[in-house]
Amino acid sequence: MESMSEVAVAVERHTKGALVTALSKLSDPLQISGEIERVIIKPSIYNPDYPGNTDIELVEGLVKMFQSTAPVYVVESDNPVRTTEEAFAKCGYNRLLDHGAELVNLSHQPLHTVKMNGHYFREHNMPKILDGNILLVNAATIKRESDARVMGASIKNLFGLLPEVDKSVYHDNIHSVLIDLLIAYRPKITILDLTQMVSGLRKEKLTTRTNGVVVGYDPVAIDSFGARLIDIEPLDVPHLVTAHTLGLGEIMSEKIRVLGTEYQKQLIEIIQN
């Protein structure tokens, strides 16, 4: 039997419930090997003044889910429009401190040299906190960018692991940069937060509330599924094509099994109509 990647879809009244439901649909439980040193949760918070940021309830659910595994760190880096501390505060993330999580600004962390695959970086100075036997949880959102081929989703969210404040110097080569980051920092589990979907570009501030999530272990399959939700052809997204070609994940819809009840799969219809 030909192997297929899985993505699980769930819609519930509350985002935390949708997360638990979606995870329960996956055929295999999350595989954790060895003693985990720390759990790293990477949400998507580019600009808290616009929609398209990972919902605090989802991140709170993840913190509670993994807090017995190892110390939990919620990480983000500075960018030209806001500091990490401002992003955490405006999105309500400071309440995660009450659950024992640590909020980390990657732009202020000690760095070390990491050898990379050479699609763009042969090596790069990266935060030491991302080293070791970590459990990386990628909790991203899905949105269109001005260049639809870039597409804001889980693999693009790894861009925020770079500690530099001004990452625009990499924009001309972003697809190659993303491949290097995906190889060096492949998440153990990937979540697309569809709580409040952005309709069009973020600056238009139009959203559709679904209270849904999509989860899986294959970030390429997750992003390919998400691309179709916002009417982007995955084969038009260079980093998805390259990742698929390199065997990093599945891009073809006929080889991606979508899990969930028929009611939960109405999420797709809500977004696409």
Tens digits of per-residue pLDDT, 13-65? Answer: 888 899 999 999 999 999 888 899 999 999 999 888 888 899 999 999 999 99
**Domain parsing of the chain, residue ranges:** 5-272
Kindly tell me if the per-residue pLDDT of 2 is higher than 70. Answer: no
In the structure encoding, which two tokens stand for residue 45, read together? 């918070």
Query: Which pLDDT does position 205 carry in this prediction?
Result: 66
Query: Which pLDDT does position 193 carry in this prediction?
Result: 94
CA distance 94 to 74: 10
- The secondary structure of the chain in percent helix, strand, coil, rounded to multiples of 5, reads 35, 25, 40
φ and ψ at 210, to 5 degrees?
Answer: -125, -20
Render pLDDT for 66-89 as a digit per residue (tens, 0 to 9): 999 999 999 999 999 999 999 999
Relative to beta strand 207-216, strand 189-198 is antiparallel
In the structure encoding, which two tokens stand for residue 121, read together? 């970086």
CA distances from 97 to 22, 80, 129, 137, 248 (A): 26, 25, 18, 18, 34
Q: With CA atoms as reference, report the closest residue to 103 among 141, 77, 121, 133.
A: 77
Query: Which pLDDT does position 177 carry in this prediction?
Result: 98
pTM: 0.94
Query: Which pLDDT does position 208 carry in this prediction?
Result: 74
Strand partners, 152: 143
Kindly tell me if the per-residue pLDDT of 125 is higher than 90. Answer: yes
- 5-272 placed in CATH 3.40.50.300: no
Largest CA distance in the chain: 50
Q: How confident is the model at residue 266 (pLDDT cuts 50, 70, 90)?
A: low
Q: With CA atoms as reference, report the closest residue to 234 among 215, 219, 221.
A: 221
Least confident of 17-26, 110-119, 238-247: 17-26
